[in-house]
Amino acid sequence: MQVKDKIVIITGAGSGIGKATAIHFAKYGATVVVSDINLEKAKEVAAEIVTNGGKSLPIKANVAKFEEVENLIKQTVVDFGKLDVLVNNAGIGPSFLRTHESTLRDWNRVIAVNQTGVYYGMKVALAQFLEQGYGNIVNIASLAGLKASPNNISYSASKFAVVGMTKSAAMEYATKNIRVNAVCPGYTESALLNQLLSAKPEMDAILKSVIPMKRYGKAAEIAEAVVWLASDNTKFITGQTITLDGGTSL
């Protein structure tokens, strides 16, 4: 993977796919800004990267607050002189209710993080990329942003939006040496999946029955795709959604 010496910000990097992605970037020689709303988790991931010979800096940021996203990117540029890659990974899950039973609080909370938070990151990063003449964004969407996902209205809406924003921005900045892509994980071992299975243990067998590979994805497998899209190995790829779902969408 050609990401050596790149400066990379990953939001929601304190656990799950974000943590795995941070570790993978560092393994291939990138400097990783580990951002999370939980600073202690961010520090733990950054420390693990440094212990293993990598370069990392933890920064706290709530992606639902524009000023914190702005500060995250500004601080990164001040400290390292540039920003090569932004991975918009921070996200939260829904309450698994049918649409008419869903709450306004759930809708507003999920949209604020999963959709508006991605917009904030893209807006600020793109301005920086235009100034420096290049850049790369990888958004973490979901299979729920490509196909129907019942009992999931807020999460589904937010992930469909991420796919749309990815494609729109990719077209806008294709001539500016700026690429924007997304990955769409299926059911992956993560805090969100654990949340679902804790609430409804019977879903474990049901979910695996619809996955042709009969297993969940691993965070490290998603991370490999993210690093690949962010690397110089994929210079002619933009506006794409890479689906990693063990065949579920088939």
Active site residues: 155
Q: Identify the residue whose tokens are 């243990």.
A: 201
Q: Which two tokens stand for residue 167?
A: 């494609």
DSSP 8-state symbol, 84:
-
How many angstroms from the chain centroid is the CA of residue 48? 20
Three-state SS string over 173-238 comes to HHHHCEEEEEEEECCECCHHHHHHHHHCCCHHHHHHHCCCCCCCECHHHHHHHHHHHHCHHHCCCC
Measured torsion, CA atoms of residues 189, 192, 195, 200, in degrees rounded to the nearest 10: -70
Helix-then-strand count for the chain, H and E:
9, 7
**Residue length of the chain:** 250
- Secondary structure class of 167 (helix, strand, coil): helix
Name 105's Cβ contacts closer than 8 Å, sequence gap at least 6. none
